[in-house]
């Protein structure tokens, strides 16, 4: 079920629903807007790619996907794009 406030306000029915609606309950353009609105470091495009990858994977599950599968798909998509850096300890010891 789609939780889009914009869809509810305009009464658009299924006309504007996309894979984001069917898998996460939120249309992909709304996810994109939210990510960009809260982005203070320039990571929104990277996160959008991860969301699209996770949505595509969930869509492949059909109606059999679970919340655990959704979390795993998104976590995997994010891990593939973000690698934590090891910061130097401040000493030059090898």
Residue 79 has what pLDDT? Answer: 87
Answer whether residue 91 is part of any domain.
Answer: no
Residue 94 lies in a domain: no
Domain span including residue 69: 5-80
What number of other Cβ atoms are within 10 A of residue 53's Cβ?
17
Residue 51 lies in a domain: yes
pLDDT in tens, 38-56: 999 998 999 999 999 988 9
Task: With respect to residue 54, please indicate whether it lies within any of the assigned structural domains.
Answer: yes
93 found inside a domain: no
pLDDT in tens, 2-32: 655 565 555 555 556 788 887 888 889 999 9
Gap between the Cα atoms of 73 and 86, Å rounded: 25
Residues 6+ apart with CB under 8 A from 73: 53, 54, 57, 58
The answer to whether 28 and 52 are in contact (CB under 8 A) is: yes
- Could you give the number of structural domains in the chain? 1
Greater model confidence, 55 or 92 = 55
């Amino acid at each position: 079920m789609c939780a889009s406030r914009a869809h509810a306000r305009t009464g658009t029915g299924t006309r504007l629903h996309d894979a984001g609606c069917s898998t996460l309950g939120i249309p992909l353009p709304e996810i994109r807007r939210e990510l960009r609105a809260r982005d203070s470091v320039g990571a929104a495009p990277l996160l959008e790619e991860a969301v699209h990858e996770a949505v595509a994977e969930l869509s492949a599950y059909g109606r059999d996907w679970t919340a655990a599968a959704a979390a795993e798909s998104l976590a995997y998509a994010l891990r593939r794009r973000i690698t934590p850096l090891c910061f130097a300890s401040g000493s030059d010891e090898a």
